Amino acid sequence: MTQQDRGERIQKVLANAGVGSRREVDRWLQEGRVTVDGKKAQPGDRLTGGEKIKVDGKPLAETPAQDPPARVLLYYKPEGEVCTRNDPEGRATVFDSLPVPAAGRWISVGRLDYNTSGLLLLTTDGDLAHRLMHPSWEIEREYAVRVLGEVPAEKLNQLLEGIMLDDGPAKFVRLWEAGGSGANHWYHAVIGEGRRREVRRMWEAVEVRVSRLIRVRFGPLELPPGMRTGQWRELRQEEFASLYHAVGLKLPAVARAPRRVRQQRAASGRPRTRTRR
């Protein structure tokens, strides 16, 4: 094995350490913002542990010789929070009330927009986050959608057959009625990717107004019954296993949820409104 073949690729090491997602690290490398032991790092460089790394001239902790323990949180995001770390408008973020991980930092697995609530995954494992978000893995997202009025069958068929959005074609993998009365009707919609505001934009494309949107499933994980908005909890061992299996990753030996699975309520939590499923 040559020196070039030893160690792990810099993108994977920094992502797994929670510095940022692999996409972010790739961009930093291309922009020349990362140095290793005083030299500008290149995409594909390998690290063996203990290197001195700087991003934008600011030193990071020494890279570990082994990957840090992986953690995943399941968070019930309320409406009125954004998924960025710092919001220019000063709005609350999903990171405000989360526990501080012992190693790395939380990476949001995709985003939910300001007016959307529901299941949001956060992890310290950048490789896991990358695969869960990459379109090639076609990880399903299921949403409960409340709309105004009953939707004609031809419009539902359009959404299943495919429509054109400004960033390309889109369609629901599955779509079904989920009850409702009066002006409000609930539907459940499943997509296989996570483009910006994709679900809302699809309904808008067929001239249907969405009055409420809740993500109730991400891949094999469902929003737990009884969980309230603003609450989070660690994944159970079987949930870890199903999540890593869904994207073809080996379950890390260190990825173990505590025996007593913690569920905490953030300060911004509000009562959950149930939908008929």
Active-site positions? 113
What is the dihedral angle through the alpha carbons of 177, 181, 184, 188, rounded to the nearest 10 degrees?
-20
The region that residue 6 occupies, defined by phi over 0 for left and psi between -120 and 50 for alpha, beta otherwise, is beta
Residue corresponding to tokens 């020494």: 62
Q: Which one-letter DSSP state was computed for residue 146?
A: E
The burial of 140, by beta-carbon neighbours within 10 Å (0-12 exposed, 13-18 middle, 19 or more buried), is given as middle
CB 104 within 8 A of CB 70: no
Pairing of strands 58-59, 39-40: unpaired
* Alpha-carbon 257 to chain mean position: 19
| Cβ-based neighbours of 135, under 8 Å, separated by 6 or more | 192, 193
